[in-house]
Structure 1
Amino acid sequence: MSRENRTHYEVLRIAVTADQQEIKIAYRRAVRTAHPDHGGSSEEFRRVSEAYQTLSDPDLRKAYDRAYAPASASASAGSSSRAPQPGAANNSARDLPIFVPPFGATSPALLSLEQASRQIHGAPRKHRRSLFGAQAKLVREARSIELIQQQILNRFPAARLLNGLVSPVDNSYLDHAVLMGYRLALVGSMMVPEGAYRWNGSTLVHGSRGIEPPKLLSAVHAMGRLFPECTVSGWVVVQSPGGNPYEPVIDYTRGSEPDGGQGLNLVGAARLGRELGSFLASGETPNVVDLQVLSRLLGGMY
């Protein structure tokens, strides 16, 4: 990334999880080299001051993080080296992760090795609704986490699950996001009684009744704009109250099958690993963990 399009965290050379003491120390260190009286430039001194003013204020930092610390679209698109190239050795979805940029590089680490190596970040968030509604949502989200861990994380070492991201659309919370290489899946869930259903691409139909899925597409489109280097897709996991992965039974109308396309992809629990896994693993560099993308997503959780 060019010096003009660095995030505030990169200007101060700290991780997105830095605490207030670390921010203060980093600011003092940066000022010593950025100040014009010490050989720096007025422009760099301005960037350092702006970064500190934003990150040292909890409210300003929260607003900045919830915007996923965006750089310009052109800079973001070219910020990741996207290495290794397709067809290169050690480029399988089942291979060990390759961190970009690699740890030990001359640039400051965006995340610690421990943070970057962790496959699950965050947990289901409590929602300010009725006790019954909140509990049902927590059950769905906990089941989805378990399914993603069993069917995705255990198969693909570079996959990273983030729970409770802030939606860039309305500041509500997104249930889950799975990042793998340069593919990002936003995942929601719904619970319906066992039985036979038909999915037409927008509504889940049971007899004469239509059930609307979670509204994810606006968040998918917004994330696509914030992360142009990634292919972003929306997924809904349909669960049954009893936890049977083969219920409900879902039939798809022509053109509504889950394929990672621009529409909403809806799957039952038993098919999640196959369909979502296929979308994630078919990217160009599925075993890459891009630290800039991951750190910006993590910023939306703090």
Structure 2
Amino acid sequence: MSSHPADLYGVLGIGPEADAQAVRAAYRRQARRAHPDAGGTAEEFHQVQSAWEVLGDAAARAAYDRDLRRPARGADSAAEAEDEAPRYGRGAGFASPAFRTNAAGSTSSTRRGTGESAARPSGTAHLAPVYIPDLSRPEPLSLPLTSQRTHGGFGSRGIFGGSRALRRAEHTAVLLEKHVLADLPTARLFNTVALEPARRDRRGQARTPRGRAADHVLVCGDTLVVVSSLDVHAATVSWDGRHLHAAGRSVAVPDLAGQSRALRAVLEAAMRETGRETSLSVGQQIVLHSPDGSMQSPVVEARGTASGTVREPLAPARAFRSIREQLAASPQANVIDRHLLAALRDQLQHPLG
């Protein structure tokens, strides 16, 4: 019995020599063909999605290609074959750490036979995804929305264009897609997320929530990171744990810690309504944008004894690194909880699709 995984290139109908653009085009073509609405099946769609999660990520694809080049070895049992499986995880027929759901519906991850965490913090985010519930079920979120990486917009810009804050939020969302979602295959981005519980109409449908909202919320496994951004018109700013100081001015930063706590309470309550007891980890990050669009500026200098309770605002390059690290820290970083995604979509103030 070969230890090689399923032929992911064959699933997409391409060869190992295909470049990244060809892989992306093949994924889109096969996803359209395999989608249940187009006559495919949930299993076929799952296989295509799983192949893309590996081949669409440079690091995961490299690990997969290395395994393909290894000579096949015999295995005395199915258990031994599972132990020999490559480290990029479960997708279209290949093994990953086993995720177990308890009676309340929460998940845990263990390495078989050791009782240790299934992966180190830097590892699970690049494993192929584990969907809960699996893609054979259309609920609680449709297959297209489950696969969608970015959810929600920022409202109407009006005939005279958007405000500076709106343009900044849109720009930040584009950068998050490029520098965070592109590196974490299972991460999802939600924009303009209400911090008050969504209400439902008489038919049980969620009504568009109002009130306070987080600009951006990223989710990966059971970890959320709330993100906001500020424009800074200086090359260097100082930070005292509460305010940014630059060019003789002092600016208070948004209370992302408070936003994180409020959103966690709302989402955990929504999950309990589905019968799933979930404990979410939350983080925050403020992104500082300079007028010239540099990813490395402004430089942030600590002033006095900065508070350790608020994460330091950072220039884009360092901020996105911080966000990736926070999201990837969970041992469940390759789990896509469709109940959690559905709960986040209920909180969108400007849902798109």
Aligned: 1:162 with 2:164: no
Q: Which has the higher helix share?
A: 1
How is 1:280-295 mapped onto 2 (pairs within 5 angstroms)?
A: 280-295=327-342
What is the letter of the counterpart of residue 291 of structure 1?
Answer: R
Give 1:233 deviation, angstroms. Answer: 1.7
Q: Which residue of 2 aligns with 1:202?
A: 242
> Does the 8 Å contact 1:167/1:219 carry over to 2?
yes
| Higher RCO (CA < 8 A, seq sep 6+) | 1
How is 1:132-147 mapped onto 2 (pairs within 5 angstroms)?
A: 134-147=162-175
Q: Which residue of 2 aligns with 1:192?
A: 232
* Unaligned segments of structure 2, at least 5 residues: 1-102, 198-209, 269-277
How is 1:48-127 mapped onto 2 (pairs within 5 angstroms)?
A: 78-83=104-109, 87-88=117-118, 92-104=124-136, 109-126=139-156
Q: Which residue of 2 aligns with 1:21?
A: none
Q: Which residue of 2 aligns with 1:251?
A: 301
| Partner SS state of residue 214, structure 1 | coil
| Partner SS state of residue 136, structure 2 | coil
Q: Which residue of 2 aligns with 1:276?
A: 323
| Partner SS state of residue 267, structure 1 | coil
Q: RMSD value over aligned CA atoms?
A: 3.1
Q: Which residue of 1 aligns with 2:76?
A: none
> Does the 8 Å contact 1:162/1:178 carry over to 2?
yes
Could you say if the C-alpha distance between residues 242 and 101 of structure 1 is closer, same or farther in structure 2, counting changes exceeding 3 Å? same
State the distance in 1 between where 2:182 and 2:301 align.
28
Could you say if the C-alpha distance between residues 253 and 280 of structure 1 is closer, same or farther in structure 2, counting changes exceeding 3 Å? farther
What is the letter of the counterpart of residue 238 of structure 2?
Answer: R
State the distance in 1 between where 2:110 and 2:179 align.
25
Give 1:83 deviation, angstroms. Answer: 4.6
State the distance in 1 between where 2:131 and 2:260 align.
25
What is the letter of the counterpart of residue 235 of structure 1?
Answer: Q
Deviations 1:14-53 (A, max 9, x none): xxxxxxxxxxxxxxxxxxxxxxxxxxxxxxxxxxxxxxxx
> Does the 8 Å contact 2:226/2:284 carry over to 1?
yes
What is the letter of the counterpart of residue 277 of structure 1?
Answer: R
| Partner SS state of residue 155, structure 1 | coil
> Does the 8 Å contact 1:158/1:288 carry over to 2?
yes
State the distance in 2 between where 1:140 and 1:101 align.
36
Q: Which residue of 1 aligns with 2:41?
A: none
Taking structure 2 as the reference length, the TM-score comes to 0.55
Give 1:286 deviation, angstroms. Answer: 0.7
Aligned: 1:180 with 2:220: yes
What is the letter of the counterpart of residue 100 of structure 1?
Answer: I
> Does the 8 Å contact 2:146/2:338 carry over to 1?
yes
Give 1:198 deviation, angstroms. Answer: 1.3
Q: Which residue of 2 aligns with 1:236?
A: 286
> Does the 8 Å contact 1:82/1:100 carry over to 2?
no
What is the letter of the counterpart of residue 203 of structure 1?
Answer: H
Give 1:273 deviation, angstroms. Answer: 2.2
How is 1:7-46 mapped onto 2 (pairs within 5 angstroms)?
A: none
Could you say if the C-alpha distance between residues 284 and 255 of structure 1 is closer, same or farther in structure 2, counting changes exceeding 3 Å? farther
| Partner SS state of residue 241, structure 1 | coil
> Does the 8 Å contact 2:237/2:299 carry over to 1?
yes
Q: Which residue of 1 aligns with 2:180?
A: 152
What is the letter of the counterpart of residue 165 of structure 2?
Answer: K
> Does the 8 Å contact 2:285/2:319 carry over to 1?
no
> Does the 8 Å contact 1:240/1:248 carry over to 2?
yes
What is the letter of the counterpart of residue 220 of structure 1?
Answer: S
Give 1:208 deviation, angstroms. Answer: 4.1
State the distance in 2 between where 1:206 and 1:299 align.
39
Taking structure 1 as the reference length, the TM-score comes to 0.64
| Partner SS state of residue 93, structure 1 | helix
Deviations 1:267-300 (A, max 9, x none): 2111122111111111121111111111101011
Could you say if the C-alpha distance between residues 113 and 255 of structure 1 is closer, same or farther in structure 2, counting changes exceeding 3 Å? farther
> Does the 8 Å contact 1:119/1:161 carry over to 2?
yes
